[in-house]
Structure 1
Amino acid sequence: MPQPNRSRVFRRAAALASTCLTLSAVVLTMSSPAYASTSYNGKDPVSTGCSSTGSTKAFADGNGFIIELHWSTACASAWADIYAERGAYDAANPPTAEIISEKNGVVQATYACHNLTSYNSTYTTCHTAMVNDGIGLAAEAYGENDGDGVYTGWF
């Protein structure tokens, strides 16, 4: 029986190893969440397009309002939306939404909104600017109406 050519066997093994490494990298890339390299701190989720990949991660009911925490996979950023019931608040002191970002217990950024616009016949709404919420960061939304506040919890 003839002996296999060692250089041919080595080249085949090297090609197989290279293919396996490439496939592993593709699988890891496809299964890992997208993290933006751009900072979206302080930017609007609608005008940046981040809201198109956003989803509601948490919400809480307050006194005449609902506060929602949204997160964008493409932008690795979070923002808060508040929906306030018409007639459930004083127009001179409208409900407020706030988004907070922290890392290791230290606040990194916070943004708020209170300029409510019409959402439908029942609710008015506003959304905050975004905070970065990628690796090592956590975000939480807070809503308040007439001194009554609720948090969504950290995401």
Structure 2
Amino acid sequence: MLKQTARAMIGSITMMPLVALAATAPTPLSINRALAPRPARVRLASDVFVERFESAPGGRMARVLERAEQLHPGDRLIFVVNWTSNETGDFTVMNPLPHTVAFQSSTDANEEVSVDGGRTWGPLPTLLVRDAGGIWRRAAPDDVTHVRWRVPGRRAATGAGQITYRGVVR
């Protein structure tokens, strides 16, 4: 199961809604252009790395990132989402968390999480979940099902960026 999860997470590329091309005078070139794929407004590319610490010279510890090929319970993961945008408008990046991974943290202050499959969103400390006994409690990182970030137009104007977040294999 963990190997299937790793395969699903590795190399996943998502495209956001496409932007329509402006119409031009009907010429053979414009007909060909109309048949060509339309440029994506935002492109996302994801990678997953396993974070390990190994002994280094001088008694230090070295941080090593390896592509996630095989996952084991307790592995610390770093998810990297690279985005490129050819427009300056706001957009949202959303990633579901595999059920075999517990959310840990993000590097972006614009992060919001969901603990109910993406129906409601907010900062983790503001969310509630109902436990097995029907009692409401504050949501914990283990409850997170989805992570999202709103990228404001001023930031999108740079044309590219990166968002990272951490998880642990259950």
TM-score (norm 2): 0.30
Query: Greater CA radius of gyration, 1 or 2?
Result: 1
TM-score, normalised to structure 1, is 0.31
